[in-house]
Amino acid sequence: MAVFTGAGVAITTPFKENGEVDYDLFGEQIEYQIAGGTDAIIVCGSTGESSCLSHEEHLEVIRYCCEKVNKRLPVVAGTGSNCTETAIYLSQEAEKSGADAILVVSPYYNKATQQGLIEHFTMVAESVKIPMLLYNIAGRTGINILPETIVHLCKNVPNIVGVKEASGNISQVAKILELADGCVDLYSGDDNQTVPIMSLGGIGVISVLSNIAPLKTHNICQAMLDNDVKKAAGLQLEAISLIDALFSEVNPIPVKRALEFQKRDRGVLRRPLTRMEDAHAAVLKAEMEKYGCL
């Protein structure tokens, strides 16, 4: 059984003006997502600025999210690291905190071989009992998890069940699903490819757009799950200009500004991320108004 189907939000981590995690605001954002129809909450991923959280903060954010959600939705905790032992530690602590699954990014900077990736992911998965999703995003990590590697891991490690595929390469997605023969739960890691990836056999998206439009993002996926491709395609195209604006600067800079426009976040980022440029922000605001989420 899949960890979830549909649209899971890659939720942001809100900060106070002094840089501390704002748990009150985080709780409000979690409740907004649940009320808005999101299908899962993915905490401490790229959008959650996990790379700028201390280990203690990282684990506390996961703990808080699990407690707040209280099993109303699946919680998937980002626990990847470029150090295998660190990824094991974060994953074990996330499991203790009540996470339903973990999301483990390929080791960044090290640029491991495919055999190194197999050993890394296997060791992390075997350290916990909950399901694990791989996270393939070569644009951030410098290494692509090849289709053959993804399928090998899902076939040979019982609790590695799928992948968040953010390579941007539809041909790679098709190859994974061709080789998988049903053993890989594949999620789009790019909002602008949700419908194309689901048309090939993907089962949902791990979404930035869901932060500001959870129901509309859910509806895109639900239309595909209902085999209404025409409706899903129309909803996907309706969102494209806003998605482009949400990625006009590196994620999560724009979505933090979008949440600020919705008065649901202060827009505070941790360095080296900086505030969105005014020209880009103006386009983002206009697209939010057009899309009906402002």
Indicate if 64 belongs to the active site: no
| pLDDT, mean of each 10-residue run, the chain (294 residues) | 96 97 98 98 97 96 98 98 97 98 96 97 98 96 96 98 97 98 96 98 98 98 98 98 98 98 96 97 98 96
In terms of Cα–Cα distance, which of 265, 258, 260 is closest to 242?
Answer: 258
At CA 170, angle to CA 188 and CA 120, rounded to 5? 60
Q: What is the pLDDT of residue 109?
A: 93
Token output for 50 = 């996990």
Residue among 32, 68, 164, 187 flagged as catalytic: 164
Residues 74/43, Cβ–Cβ less than 8 Å: no
CA-to-CA distance for 28 and 14, rounded, in angstroms?
10
CA-CA-CA-CA torsion sign (218, 221, 225, 227): positive
C-alpha distances in angstroms, 59 versus 56, 107, 134, 135, 270? 5, 19, 19, 19, 17
Q: What is the pLDDT of residue 184?
A: 98
Residue among 32, 68, 135, 256 flagged as catalytic: 135
CA-CA-CA-CA torsion sign (79, 26, 31, 202): negative
- Residue 98, phi-psi category: left (phi > 0), alpha (psi -120 to 50), beta (remainder): left
Residues 269/256, Cβ–Cβ less than 8 Å: yes
SS3 161: strand
Indicate if 23 belongs to the active site: no
SS3 6: strand
CA-to-CA distance for 166 and 38, rounded, in angstroms?
20
Q: What is the pLDDT of residue 1?
A: 84
Residues 225/274, Cβ–Cβ less than 8 Å: no
Global pTM value: 0.97
**Domains of the chain and CATH, by start:** 6-226 (3.20.20.70)
